[in-house]
Amino acid sequence: MHRCKRFLVLLEQQQQQEQQQEQEQEQQQQQQQLILLRMMMMVVRKQTAATTAAREIPAAAGAAAGAAAAAGAEAAAGAAAAAGAEAAAAPATTTARTGETEADTETAAAAAEEEAATL
């Protein structure tokens, strides 16, 4: 009888040890899976950040280029208008001095505007 009890106690201890080992293995697997999941999330975040930055940089550069082009166009238009006004004023002065007709002055002004527009 004593042997049977001893055998049962040993058997129970062995089963408990096996269960404990299985639980420890499961915990280790879960921890490894959690680590892998975290690493994958970091990779995804980095890729997302890189993709977002890649989209934002050209957009920002495009906006800056657009603003610069608009400012340049405004400056060019202003310069062209000033040049056109000077060109129109010069023939008008010449017309007044030489007695040319107003039609010649209008033609010169239109030519100056066309030239300014092409600049």
Say how many CA atoms lie within 13 Å of 44 toward its Cβ.
Answer: 6
Q: Where are the domains of the chain?
A: 24-118
Q: Tell me the average confidence (pLDDT) per consecutive run of 10 residues in the chain, 119 residues long.
A: 84 94 95 91 86 69 62 62 57 48 59 59
pLDDT of residue 16: 95
pLDDT of residue 96: 47
Q: How far apart are CA 104 and CA 3, in angstroms?
A: 132
Count of beta carbons in the 10 Å neighbourhood of residue 108: 19
The CA distances from residue 119 to 75, 84, 107, 111, in Å, are: 11, 11, 19, 13
Question: pTM (2 decimals)?
Answer: 0.40
